[in-house]
Amino acid sequence: MSSAQSTARTRARVAAVLAGLLLAALPAAPAPASPATAAPEAAEAAASHRPTPPHVVGDKTVPVYSYADAIRESVWVETRADSDGDGVRDRVAVDMVRPREAAAAGVRVPVIMDASPYYHCCGRGNESERKTYDAAGVIAKAPLFYDNYFVPRGYAFAAVDLAGTARSTGCEDVGGPAEVGSAKAVVDWLNGRARAFTADGRPVSAAWSTGRVGMIGKSWDGSVANGVAATGVPGLATIVPISAISSWYDYMRYQGVLRSSDYPGYLHSYVNGRTDGACAEELARLRADSAEETGDYNGFWAQRDYRPAAGRVRASVFVAHGVNDLNVTTNQFARWWQELAEQGVPRKLWLYQAGHEDPFDVRRAEWVDSLHRWFDYWLQGLRNGVMDEPRVDLETAPGTWTTQRDWPAPGTRSVRVALGAGDGVTGTLGGRGARPGREQAYVDESLTEAELVAEPSTATAGRLVFLSGALSAPLRISGSPSVRLRIRVDRPTTELTARLVDYGTAERIRYDSSEGVRTLTTESCWGASTDADDACYRDTEEITAVSDHAVLTRGWLDAAHHRSLRFATPLRPDRWYTVTVPLNAYDAVLPAGHVLGLVLGQSDPEFTETDDRDATVRVDLGRSELILPLTGRAGLPSVDVAPRVVTAPADPSAARTARDTRQVP
């Protein structure tokens, strides 16, 4: 795709078409949108009595409206909450850009919306763009390319400051009802169900809107889109969550293990846009109700878990996620995807090898085209065939993409892999495994990941390693692995960690380095520009390197939460327990000749924070197993003695103490 600039059509031709539309009857007032499954049909039926708008040519929208002359306005939408307790309902700032010519002609347009806590504090996108305003306080520049590209094509763009951030009132409650409700209120306003006001207090309506809204956003922004979709709000036709959270508990707790202390309070303070003390009560509630001292899943977390409400989702869902995302881990998309699938929600998925990245910075031209067609279908009602294509785009190796019907890959089956004792230093994966009662023990050493997985054929205190034989054929893992362990522990609890490792030389994405993407000095442009807001962005490329091994996926469990995440069950030292450590979802093909490794450890200072250390864990190998989601007929070869695998040793300077692992989603 070449740089996406405005079409060369003359303004005179566009004006003539619009003048004709002015003579036509204006459309009826916007009504609540139909459920997503009927979205294009509903849009077609509603438009059947109207002329085709000038921004539609065939089955796609084209850039006919002036971006420079677009209407730019800021309004404050009233929500149902009073999250700061001042006796007045919260009002959220909504900065909008929409085509002036369409408004003059009475042509209603749908809305693409990015609701974010980051517009003031931190910026959006690879270049951390922030909103800017003119002297009257009206939006002059919105981050990202959405307005530049889509407004000339007959869309409005709305950049929403979530409650308690930037120019909005209220308090940020980090994934909770006030946050989600503040974005939902904007959808309601666009459908005539909520009130909004200008800066000087005048009521304002959205009569220019069709009522059809598509929410998009990366990380926290995409998490909000998931939350709003889970309310079932009419009018939300589609969402595009990128590297997004579907359960805030699973973001801040790993199966009962604390990711980092004071995480909700940290995120609240990071994005808080209110004056000092205005949200002190909300901050105190976040810290108290999150139950950091127990790690339990409680009512606070249930409010921030969108998955159980998948049955209420009316919107279609286009998910994008990096399989090596260590910030918002892959189970966030995988469990949400599964729930949506069970409810029959129309959906699409992009999976790529990078970490916490936007596909705009991974595969730019193809992403913009795919997003354009998706919005045209779900917001403009154009039958362009996007829903007839394979559901999943998947990057299988750096720069190598394929499509498939669904995810996990069709034909995936759960394969139980036995653990064997091997030579007493390195165990085995596959074959008959050890007999029940064959034990191995390891003592918590708080090893770094590099120490855990390097040199698997060498005895290292604080870990257990199990290796397959060299693969005789490529092995495809697609889905969510887990490890079922029969253990006895000499402490009331300990953290249990598990990692799957690909041992073998290959060129891989360096996702530990800038999430696997490098920013270049060249630029490409994606839409129209003004002096205040250009549509040009630095190009990017994937960062790759040849390495002799790579961690594929990880999993954590607080052993005392093995029965339920809602309460702890302290372990007795004289008892054996069966526990399951779920690993993050993954998709990978291990080449023939490589070796698959399973590495078990305990406290994990690079990823989690725990006070429960120094336990000894005994594992009954014969009653433990790895469960792999595999495709095709290939499996792990039978092996009695683990192959000798040599890797570069771990960096001896790696930190061995706990650190602050808090990130911003």
Are 178 and 170 in contact by the 8 Å Cβ rule? The answer is yes
Instruction: Please tell me the predicted confidence (pLDDT) of residue 574.
Output: 94
The DSSP annotation for 107-154 comes to --EEEEEEEES-TTTT-BTTTTB--EE-TTS-EEE-SSSHHHHHGGGT
- What is the pTM for the complete model shown? 0.92
**420 vs 430, 501, 617, CA distance in Å?**
8, 17, 17
Q: Does residue 408 have a cis bond before it (omega within 30 degrees)? A: yes
d(CA 190, CA 182): 13
Catalytic option among 84, 325, 393, 620:
325
Mean pLDDT of residues grouped by 10 in the chain (665 residues)? 41 39 34 46 52 94 98 97 96 98 97 97 92 93 97 98 97 98 98 97 97 98 98 98 98 97 96 94 97 96 98 98 98 98 98 98 98 98 97 96 97 96 95 95 96 96 97 96 98 98 97 92 97 96 96 98 97 97 97 97 96 95 98 88 90 59 84
Is residue 356 flagged as an active site residue?
yes
In angstroms, the CA 459 to CA 456 distance is 8
| Element of type H or E holding 265 | helix 263-271
Q: Give the pLDDT of residue 653.
A: 61
pLDDT of residue 263: 97
pLDDT for 44 equals: 52
Does the active-site annotation cover 219?
yes
Q: Which domains does the chain have, with CATH numbers?
A: 63-404 (3.40.50.1820), 413-512+546-630 (2.60.120.260)
Q: What is residue 438's predicted lDDT score, i.e. its pLDDT?
A: 97
Please report the pLDDT score of residue 635 as a whole number.
84
Strands 536-542 and 427-429, bridge-based pairing: unpaired
Query: Given this model, what pLDDT does residue 31 score?
Result: 40
Query: Which of 321, 356, 549, 562 is an active site residue?
Result: 356
Catalytic residue, candidates 116, 168, 209, 219: 219
- Euclidean distance between CA atoms 263 and 175, whole angstroms: 12
How far apart, in whole angstroms, are the C-alpha atoms of residue 631 and residue 340?
22
pLDDT of residue 16: 38
In the prediction, which pLDDT does 180 show?
98
128 among known catalytic residues: no
